[in-house]
Amino acid sequence: MSSIPAPILELHDLTVRLAARSGPVTAVAGVTLAVQPGECVGLVGESGAGKSQALLAPFQLGAAAAQVGGGARFEGGDLLALDGAALDRIRGRRAGFVFQDPMASLTPHRTVGEQIAEVIEHHGAGRGAAARDRACALLERVHMDVPERRFHQYPHELSGGQRQRASIAIAIACDPALLIADEPTTALDVTVQAEVLALLAALKAERRLSIVLVSHDFGVVGRLADRILVMYAGRLVEEGRALDVMTAPRHPYTAALLACIPRMEDRPEEPLMPIPGQPPQPGALPAGCAFHPRCAHAQARCRVEAPVLAPVGARTLACHFPLPA
Ligand code: SF4
């Protein structure tokens, strides 16, 4: 009898409240998700949807003074019950992180080799020459050209793509079970973007690495994710198999995001279809469905009654009037 593996990461009814001048505002409201071993989950939505806070706040890497409620378990343990020292043993060792701007996450006055070796030593995965050898091997694994030379270079001496490869080398230095990649390709040109995504796909396959890929860009997430979750205004609004969500979105917001992506077959005279208006600010959500002021399918019920996230066939949706299957 085959048993279902336990999720690497589970969020249950997670809420994140952030300090604002007018008082705490809810940035994440009731997010529930699970990431299985070897699975890539894509979390998509516009800036400010709460994607990063939902993933980073349980590891105490989100905004300062964030109040986190609900449940968050990592490899079976209660993340929200851990103190700083216990979290330090998970972050960088069992859970790796890659961020949008490697210049901000790398230390400018230390060589990339030193920074990788430091993580290895900090988590007890090697010392001295062994740590340096491992760092060099990691630079080679992330396809850094001439890794022995790159080892001795500072972040400012590398291109954006090389810096992001160095960040990935740090994130996988201790062979983590989970990689959280928060907009990892946003600052890169399309060619380098494709190379970095191919690298993440290879790491996922060879290490059975679980990945959460956070992005505003369906084009990025669609290349790697097995499952896609869409967030709007701090809430999940659609979840399903990546191919299903990409080819037949059922939530009007998901469909609107996909309609914004330029496609090769588009005729130049056909304008792109931006979503009208702006996402609401946390703490100032409209009544009813938070997407209703921007939704082309909104009806009277949408303006007064917030839809509840619920299974609809093989999908999970928060919409009173889902698009046809
Ligand atoms: S509930 Fe109504 S307003 Fe909200 S996404 Fe669905 S159709 Fe649009």
Could you give the percent of the chain with pLDDT greater than 70? 98
Please report, for residues 133, 186, 251, the alpha-carbon distance to residue 127 in angstroms, rounded to integers and kept in the order given.
10, 34, 51
Least confident window among 109-123, 272-286, 305-319: 272-286
Find out whether the beta carbon of 158 lies less than 6 Å from any atom of ligand 1. Answer: no
Task: Report the separation in Å between the CA atom of 29 and the middle of ligand 1, taken as the mean of its atom positions.
Answer: 18
CA of 305 to the centre of ligand 1 (A): 10
Region of poorest pLDDT, from 140-144, 171-175, 184-188: 184-188
Q: Answer whether 207 contacts ligand 1 (Cβ < 6 A).
A: no
Contact between 11 and 54 under an 8 Å Cβ cutoff? The reply is yes
- 138-157 per-position pLDDT tens digit: 999 999 999 999 999 999 99
Instruction: Give the tens place of pLDDT for each residue, 108-118.
Output: 999 999 999 99
Q: Does ligand 1 come within 6 angstroms of the Cβ of 298?
A: yes
Q: How far is the CA of 43 from the centre of ligand 1 (A)?
A: 20
Kindly list the domain boundaries of the chain, sorted by start residue. 9-94+176-317
The stretch 208-225 carries a mean pLDDT of 94
d(CA 84, CA 290): 35
Say if ligand 1 is within 6 A of residue 295 CB. Answer: yes
Mutating to test ligand 1, I would choose from 235, 250, 257, 292 the residue with most ligand atoms within 8 A of its C-beta, which is 292
Class of domain 9-94+176-317: alpha beta
Report the interhelical angle of 128-141 vs 112-122 (nearest 10°): 120
The whole-angstrom separation of Cα 84 and Cα 10 is 20
DSSP, res 307 = P
Q: Of 305, 304, 277, 79, nearest to 178 (Cα)?
A: 79
Which of 195, 13, 172 has its CA nearest to residue 94? 172
